[in-house]
Structure 1
Amino acid sequence: MTALLIVNPKATTTSERARDILVRALGTAVDLNVGYTRRRGHATSLARQAVAEGMDLVVTLGGDGTVNEVVNGLLEAGKGPDETPRLAVVPGGSTNVFARALGMPVDWVDGTGVILDALRDNRSRTIGLGRANGRYFTFCAGFGLDAAAIRRVERARVKGISATPALYLRSTVAQYFSGADRRHPAIRMEIPGQVTHERLGLAIVQNTRPWTYLGTREVSPNPRASFDTGLDVLSLNEMNLATTIRTASQLLTGRKPPHGKHVVAYHDLKKFKLSSARPQAFQLDGDYLGECDAVELESAPEALRVLC
């Protein structure tokens, strides 16, 4: 079996020594090549090359951004899951939502063990993905407030600040109080054949649960989201302080999904559109992708085979 290990050398939780150990461990089970990413988007090129060379497996060592790039490289040719290399994920980032959603251990050593066991037992599963304006995502997309908060986090990381749960919370609060959409929400959601919602303040889209983690705690606005169903979305049609605090409290306590007259939520959607009268921040799998005024979202069922 041929495999490519795609390594983000800036991965948060692994060292050079750890990467060497991983390479030796995987090399006992597969004919392994190793590629190191050098810039944003490079992982997509490496995955594309693995498809062209007919490799059987692509393994990532990095965070959710690296995984997202690899997935898009693997699926770019439009082949089915049986014609595409399988994907295995070794947790190496600060959050690793996708790996943990698959049930992978947080520790990279334990994660490597799971992958080796799956190779030995020829064990894999096929999962559904999401697609936004033609780009695949594995667990979440955001349009509006949450994406703008991620933009703040990324700017802080450029300055050398670690991406901790506290930083995400501070960034979200700062964006809420400084952004225009709190007073004048501008997002529109159109679901074909169903309904159109106007004046929404944000849109959180999930392909699976959770949406993210705060340390070890799962945070999931759409707790029924699954790799085996379509897309779930949660929006608010009122962004005043009382509504926002109530919804955030419901979200963080996790006893029930957010609810109330200002909550707009849908489960298992095949396709819908988000648009805005003014450009909105946009993110996929926790990576800020800039601003846009419209996003076409659709479910991509049974799109990818993964080892877990």
Structure 2
Amino acid sequence: MKKNILFVINPISGGKSKLNFAEKVFKHLNLNLFEPSFEFTKWHGHGIELASKGLADGMDIIVAVGGDGTINEIASVLEGTKFTMGIVPFGSGNGLARSLNIPLNEVGAIKRLNNLHYHSIDSGLFNNRKFFNIAGIGFDALISTRFAENVKRGFWGYFKTSISEISNYKHQKYRIEIDGKLIEREAFMISLANSSQFGNNAHIAPFASLDDGFLDVCIVKPFPIYQFPVLGYRMFSKSTHKSKFVEILKAREIKITREYPSAVHLDGEPIQMGVELNISIKPLSLKLLN
């Protein structure tokens, strides 16, 4: 029997048009295996509603067509179920898709679905909110907030915003409990990495794995501002672990207490949270068509 496959499309992700996307699906998807249908998101969070409705309507597979934020919405519905998710990357960074070696062009990603290759990955919980690529506290959460305020996305948008914000940014003190062991750190930012990279091949946690049952806790300590380009270089050369300003620890359960409430980000999407943060890993809880 054919599998019912729903493509949930974010029409504005990555700044790229999706008007002819359905035409490409009918041309490159194996229609002997799949019966496709399509929905477009119309507001932030709409993907959650569309994915939930898709499951109720008997869909076997739901494909996120967009960036990490769109993926997060669809995956949040499918995680912990028997249903399968697919990804056609259309974001500005495509961190999760890159980590899964999914082709970044839509034709290649559509054709990849025809292989019917299934793979399960871990997912993260952050104060009961789900994430699948990287969550963050501190400077990267601030930059995610600026992006949500309609700053131009993509690598150069990230770079320019970072430069404009870094001189005024104040680090915090954190109490961090890693699988029951307490440490205290001053930090510029803390990343909770399920995959190795934010996107655009900027690797904050070079050895993070999507299916090892651990999160990589990446603590970036305060550093002289002239070291900022060096840390950027280390991310793109997968060598952050060699920096004296970066500490990386693997963990299943993390409790963080910070000095004051502020934004965190979950897969690049900012959300305000308080001083007490509880993060954990759910091993192999999301089934992907990859």
* TM-score w.r.t. length of structure 1: 0.84
Partner residue, 2:258:
276
* Residues 192-203 of structure 1 aligned to structure 2 (within 5 Å): 192-203=179-190
Task: State yes or no: 1:186 paired with 2:173.
Answer: yes
CA gap 1:49/1:263 in 2 versus in 1, 3 angstroms: same
Shift of 1:244: 5.0
Task: State yes or no: 1:236 paired with 2:234.
Answer: no
Which whole-Å deviations, capped at 9, do the CAs of 1:105-154 have from their partners, x for residues lacking one?
A: 111111111112x23xxx21111111211122111001110110121223
Which whole-Å deviations, capped at 9, do the CAs of 1:203-252 have from their partners, x for residues lacking one?
A: 01210122321xxxx22121110012210011134344356565444334
Q: Is the CA contact (8 Å cut-off) linking 1:235 and 1:263 kept in structure 2?
A: yes
Q: Secondary structure at the match of 1:257?
A: helix
C-alpha separation between the residues in 2 aligned to 1:242 and 1:113? 45
* Residues 77-156 of structure 1 aligned to structure 2 (within 5 Å): 78-79=80-81, 83=82, 85-116=83-114, 118-119=115-116, 123-156=117-150
C-alpha separation between the residues in 2 aligned to 1:198 and 1:255? 21
The counterpart of 1:263, out of the listed 240, 246, 249, is 246
Q: Is the CA contact (8 Å cut-off) linking 1:247 and 1:258 kept in structure 2?
A: no
Shift of 1:270: 0.5
The one-letter amino acid paired with 1:21 is K
What is the aligned-residue identity percentage? 24
Q: Is the CA contact (8 Å cut-off) linking 1:61 and 1:91 kept in structure 2?
A: yes
Partner residue, 2:77:
73
Shift of 1:21: 2.4
Structure 2 alignment gaps of length 5 or more:
none
C-alpha separation between the residues in 2 aligned to 1:211 and 1:280? 20
Structure with the higher fraction of residues in helix conformation: 1
The counterpart of 1:19, out of the listed 19, 22, 37, is 22
Partner residue, 1:251:
235
Shift of 1:51: 2.8
Q: Is the CA contact (8 Å cut-off) linking 2:231 and 2:240 kept in structure 1?
A: no
Q: Is the CA contact (8 Å cut-off) linking 1:150 and 1:171 kept in structure 2?
A: no
Partner residue, 1:304:
286
Partner residue, 2:12:
10
Q: Is the CA contact (8 Å cut-off) linking 1:145 and 1:281 kept in structure 2?
A: no
Task: State yes or no: 1:209 paired with 2:196.
Answer: yes
Q: Is the CA contact (8 Å cut-off) linking 1:186 and 1:198 kept in structure 2?
A: yes
The counterpart of 1:43, out of the listed 19, 23, 47, is 47
Instruction: Report the aligned-residue RMSD.
Output: 2.2
Q: Tell me the number of residue pairs that the alignment of Structure 1 and Structure 2 aligns.
A: 285
CA gap 1:133/1:256 in 2 versus in 1, 3 angstroms: closer
* Residues 279-298 of structure 1 aligned to structure 2 (within 5 Å): 279-298=261-280
C-alpha separation between the residues in 1 aligned to 2:242 and 2:73? 31
Task: State yes or no: 1:174 paired with 2:177.
Answer: no
The one-letter amino acid paired with 1:153 is F
Shift of 1:163: 1.2
Shift of 1:294: 2.8
The one-letter amino acid paired with 1:15 is K
